[in-house]
Amino acid sequence: GAVVSQHPSRVICKSGTSVKIECRSLDFQATTMFWYRQFPKQSLMLMATSNEGSKATYEQGVEKDKFLINHASLTLSTLTVTSAHPEDSSFYICSAARPSGGSYNEQFFGPGTRLTVL
């Protein structure tokens, strides 16, 4: 159990367009979902934390008007990169947290989405 999917796995778009990435927890209801960005040969950078039905909490330096997060249900969160530019090209990874019986809710990661903006 605890499978998280992302769609699409790879997307290429033109500069100025918007791109939506979906993150789904397939076999559990996620208390919280997270969006990360990973640059080549670097660690994951947390972009935002979202809870179903409420506004996402963005990390410092992340533009909330550029990276729109919608957490429509306990199994679906979407990240929309608005007016994408080449510098937004990156690997975006989502995760979903599931209660694990203790005080800490473990995160389960999606396979990632490679965004290339031309």
Task: Report if residue 112 touches another protein, rule: CB under 8 A.
Answer: yes
Find the binder of another protein among 24, 35, 110, 115 (CB under 8 A): 110
Q: What is the rounded CA–CA span in Å between residue 34 and residue 46?
A: 7
Kindly state whether residue 32 participates in binding another protein, applying the rule CB under 8 A.
yes
Considering only 42, 59, 63, 72, the residue that binds another protein (CB under 8 A) is 42
Closest CA to 94 of 80, 75, 113: 113
- State CA 55 to chain mean position distance: 14
Among residue numbers 68 through 97, which ones bind another protein (CB under 8 A)? 93, 95, 97
Residue 105 CB, nearest distance to another protein (Å)? 4
